[in-house]
Amino acid sequence: MIVEVIAVGTELLLGQIVNGNGAAIGRRLAEEGFDAHYQVVVGDNEDRLAAALETAMGRSDAVILTGGIGPTQDDLTREAICRATGRAKLFSEEYAEALRARWAATGRVMPESNLRQAEFPEGGEQLPNAKGTAPGIALEHEAVWVFALPGVPQEMMALLDDEVMPRLRRAAGGPAVVKSRLLRSWGMSESQVAELLDDLFQSSSNPSVAFLASGGEIKVRITAKADNEADAAALIEPVEAEVRHRLGVRIFGSDGETIEAVVLRLLDERGWHLATAESATGGLIAARITAVPGASGQFVGSVVSYATELKRRLLEVPEDILVETGVVSEETAMAMAVGAARLLGAEVAVSVTGSAGPDEQEHSAGTMVIGVHTPEGTAARTFRLPGDRERVRTYAGTAALQLVRLAVEGSWWRR
CB of 217 to its own copies, least distance (A): 15
CB of 296 to its own copies, least distance (A): 6
CB-nearer residue toward its own copies: 172 or 176: 172
CB of 280 to its own copies, least distance (A): 8
Cα gap 125→155, rounded to integer Å: 17
CB-nearer residue toward its own copies: 248 or 294: 294
Provide the 10 A C-beta neighbour count for residue 160.
21
CB-nearer residue toward its own copies: 41 or 194: 41
Cα gap 215→407, rounded to integer Å: 21
CB of 52 to its own copies, least distance (A): 7
CB of 106 to its own copies, least distance (A): 17
Binding site for its own copies (CB under 8 A): 12-20, 22-30, 36-43, 45, 48, 52, 55, 212, 276, 278, 280-287, 289-291, 293-296, 299-307, 309-310, 314, 343-345, 357-359, 389-390, 393
Closest CA to 314 of 348, 279, 281: 279
Question: Which residues pair with residue 182 across a beta bridge?
Answer: 221
Amino acid in position 113 = S
CB 405 within 8 A of CB 266: yes
CB-nearer residue toward its own copies: 195 or 390: 390
Pairing mode, strands 89-91 and 62-66 = unpaired
CB-nearer residue toward its own copies: 112 or 309: 309
Calculate the alpha carbon distances from 77 to 72, 80, 119, 383 in Å: 11, 5, 11, 52
Cα gap 270→251, rounded to integer Å: 20
- Residue 151 sits at φ, ψ, to 5 deg, of -90, -20
CB-nearer residue toward its own copies: 149 or 284: 284
CB 181 within 8 A of CB 254: yes
CB of 276 to its own copies, least distance (A): 8
CB of 264 to its own copies, least distance (A): 12
Amino acid in position 288 = R
CB of 341 to its own copies, least distance (A): 13
CB-nearer residue toward its own copies: 32 or 376: 32
CB 343 within 8 A of CB 350: no
Residues 6+ apart with CB under 8 A from 192: none
Cα gap 383→33, rounded to integer Å: 38
CB-nearer residue toward its own copies: 23 or 234: 23
Residue 155 DSSP SS3: helix
